[in-house]
Amino acid sequence: MSQPIHISIPHRLGRDEARRRIAEGFEKIGGQFGPSAAKALKTNWTGDRMDFDVKAMGQAITGNVEVQDAAVVMEVMLPAMLAAMAGMVKDRVQHEGQLMLEKK
């Protein structure tokens, strides 16, 4: 059974800048795991919402990111095999998201 993870990351960037950073961040994340992972990561923007999915090692992770004026809200669906690590995954995604949205 899938396990949903919900994350909200506040920001002060404005919607457009936050969206740009999230889009760039997902491209970088896909590239960090090599060409096959970059190809396995699919993203689709509709307005300020990005749906994504990635398939690796026989597992599929899906989710969405909604960019709001003062926060980025994410929902990630972990497959049953990864559900036991939901807390660790949530912490890592929260941390990486905060890094993407820090003032530079």
Q: State the pairing for strand pair 59-67/3-10.
A: unpaired
- 76-85 average pLDDT score: 84
pLDDT digits (tens, 9 = 90+) for 9-51: 999 999 999 999 999 988 887 666 566 665 778 999 999 999 9
d(CA 76, CA 92): 12
Report phi then psi at 72, rounded to 5: -115, 125
State the CATH number of the domain containing residue 78: 3.30.530.20
Which structural domain range is residue 74 located in? Answer: 3-101
d(CA 5, CA 83): 9
* This prediction's pTM: 0.83
Closest CA to 43 of 68, 28, 23, 20: 23
Split into its structural domains, the chain has a count of: 1
| Whether the predicted pLDDT of 55 surpasses 70 | yes
